Structure 1
Amino acid sequence: MTPPRLALVPGEPAGVGPELCLRLIQRPRDYALTAYADPRSLQAAAQALNLPLKLLPPDQPALRPGELSLVEVTQASVPDWGQPDPANAAAVIGALRQAAQACLDGELEGLVTGPVHKAAINAGGIPYTGTTELLAQQAGCEVVMMLANDIVRVALATTHLPLRAVADAIAPEPLARTLGIVAAALRADFGVAEPAIAVLGLNPHAGESGHLGREEIEVIEPVLAALRAQGLNLIGPLPADTAFLPAKLRGYDAVLAMYHDQGLPVLKYSGFERAVNLTLGLPYPRVAVDHGTALDLAGSGRADPSSLIAAADTCARIARNRRPQGAPP
């Protein structure tokens, strides 16, 4: 079978992204990587880590250790490690958009992204809330954020909202749409024929029969009942404080949390190093690291590449799963 061709975007050039990419490409792999980056940043990382780097033209697949195909995206500067330059914001966003467009055009089969520095991008004059939102807008589709490791997959009904805004955002149509996207991704991307999804309640003890809040009774339970009638296997709404017990997790293929900090602390505690961030619902697989730019570690060689390695491996696996049955090898 032809190795999947994936786009690789290092992210913030002053952070650990470039050196994590260098660590990633030293491994034998069964997929090809094309970076969208400034070669100067990659070469600076190779020099800092004393690792080999051979840059290839974008039409030449890079499969061997130390090789990386490159689409050049020129930055305004090559910043010092740990010192983001807002002048590079256009290049960081441009790299993401170009790589995503190559996936939308069918030139590449998936997108792997390193950590981005939101403050530097906004300081550079580009309004930016997150790469998930940027990619969804570019593709013109609804998406769901899921984080996953070897222990649990956690999808989010709401993402980056203030806590006081979460309850108003839990509404029937968005909740039903989110569950549909999660179920479809579990089938297509992870090969789960009949996925079981645990749905957390919003309130403590899942509302305690209305005594601690009525969102479960008035919104969540009716949505789950309607989707169960359509054939989805949904468990809940469940109290969040017991849903993640190991014995219970074995009965789910994924957990839907109502808000960011309801589900993600558990996932990160259970295996932060190998966790990845997936954007479900895009026409192509997108998998990112589950950590930030780690400016204090940049250029030191001490940054752990495990999450980026897991992201690339996961993206390649999903890309293969998405290939049509009977597609040529």
Structure 2
Amino acid sequence: MKPVIGITMGDGAGIGPEIIVKSLAVASVYEECQPVVIGDAKRLELAKKVTGSDVTIRAIQDPAEASFSYGTIDCIDLDLLPSDLPFGAISAEAGNAAFHYVKKAIELAQEKKINAICTAPLNKEALHKGGHIYPGHTEILAELTDTEEYAMLLSSPKLKVIHLTTHVGLIKAIEMIDLERTYNVIKLAHDTLTRAGKHQPSIAVCGINPHAGENGLFGNGEEEEKLIPGIERAKTEGINASGPHPADTLFFRAQRGDFDVVVACYHDQGHGPIKVLGLEAGVNITVGLKGGMIRTSVDHGTAFDIAGKNIADERSMLEAIRSAIELAPRQD
């Protein structure tokens, strides 16, 4: 069975509706999955006019009603946006709607009606104006699924990177890393790829210091204290983990195919190599959500400055859909 991918519309005043319509006008998407949008059908109709697409927008209430046929975009219609909502403007209505699209997608995933969630971008200021005080999608997903241990995984066609820490300063990031976090993130990577059908995925952990410390020559023993015990614990459970490896060569080796995923210690260590490979190809993925739920996302924002102008590039959305297909838990 092709996986059912629930695509949330994001902020309706941004480029989300446009890039969804453009992406679902690509025939190969329907060859690989069964997509269904969670959003507002009227907004997709407007995006259809903006883009000049000839697809049909079909409002439904449940994935069971979807046709999943190329040329028709099935939309679970929450009907939350005013018909006169302007493109490119921050609004409480759009922020509130974006929250409820995600909430509905989580419910559908928990009910096993969709196999993965793919999110179009939301706007944090609009989200807050709408009464939902979260930094972004990840925190909404974590709270609504009652998940405490999760991680960011970035994916591109040649490289996957999962992070021990993300949006904190470098000194704080090193302080936050310990053997438990190292072990937990290795296990999240292993479990995610295993559920997606990858047998014994190969997981390589980056060093914190240059040359991974070079046996104490660099740093203050961070590799020995914070990384190696977590790696060894994972290995005792049969997980195919190795490292710590010098970061200056590890990413080259991984994109060459030596490893299935790299564990990066901090934000720029992992984000830099992914973005060098192409901004349009990068996908942001939340792993570790309860129930094995997978969420993928475009690696860009709402782009209010170009919304409603048929300028938005859909390639990151297409990659996010493809990553959702790749990582969606396989059904027995």
Provide the TM-score with structure 2 as the length reference: 0.89
Q: Give the structure 1 partner of residue 203 of structure 2.
A: 197
Q: Give the structure 2 partner of residue 327 of structure 1.
A: none
Deviation (angstroms), 1:102? 0.8
Distance 1:300 1:62, change over 3 A: farther
Deviation (angstroms), 1:316? 2.8
Deviation (angstroms), 1:323? 0.5
Is this contact kept in 2: 1:145–1:278, CA < 8 A? yes
CA distance in 1, matches of 2:283, 2:5: 16
SS where residue 112 of structure 1 aligns?
strand
Q: Give the structure 2 partner of residue 89 of structure 1.
A: 95
Q: Give the structure 2 partner of residue 180 of structure 1.
A: 187
Q: Give the structure 2 partner of residue 291 of structure 1.
A: 300
Distance 1:227 1:48, change over 3 A: same
SS where residue 244 of structure 1 aligns?
helix
SS where residue 71 of structure 1 aligns?
strand
CA distance in 2, matches of 1:66, 1:56: 14
Q: Give the structure 2 partner of residue 11 of structure 1.
A: 10
The CA RMSD measured in Å over matched residues stands at 2.1
Is this contact kept in 1: 2:59–2:76, CA < 8 A? no
After superposition, the C-alpha distances for 1:272-319 in whole angstroms (9 at most, x for unaligned) are 222222222232332211222222221222222112112223323433
1:108 to 84, 91, 114: 114
Identity %: 30
Is this contact kept in 2: 1:147–1:290, CA < 8 A? no
CA distance in 1, matches of 2:268, 2:150: 19
CA distance in 2, matches of 1:160, 1:122: 19
Distance 1:161 1:123, change over 3 A: farther
Is this contact kept in 2: 1:56–1:62, CA < 8 A? no
Is this contact kept in 1: 2:66–2:74, CA < 8 A? yes
Provide the TM-score with structure 1 as the length reference: 0.90
CA distance in 1, matches of 2:255, 2:278: 17
**Runs of at least 5 residues in structure 2 that lack an aligned partner in the other structure:** none
Q: Which moved more, 1:309-318 or 1:42-51?
A: 309-318
Is this contact kept in 1: 2:231–2:241, CA < 8 A? yes
2:233 to 205, 226, 229: 226
Deviation (angstroms), 1:248? 7.2
Q: Which moved more, 1:14-23 or 1:298-307?
A: 298-307
Distance 1:290 1:62, change over 3 A: farther
Is this contact kept in 1: 2:68–2:74, CA < 8 A? no
Report the AA paired with residue 277 of structure 1. N
**Runs of at least 5 residues in structure 1 that lack an aligned partner in the other structure:** 325-329
Q: Which moved more, 1:70-79 or 1:28-37?
A: 70-79
Q: Give the structure 2 partner of residue 133 of structure 1.
A: 139
Q: Which moved more, 1:53-62 or 1:86-95?
A: 53-62
Report the AA paired with residue 188 of structure 1. R
Q: Give the structure 1 partner of residue 223 of structure 2.
A: 216
CA distance in 1, matches of 2:255, 2:100: 43
CA distance in 2, matches of 1:87, 1:64: 31
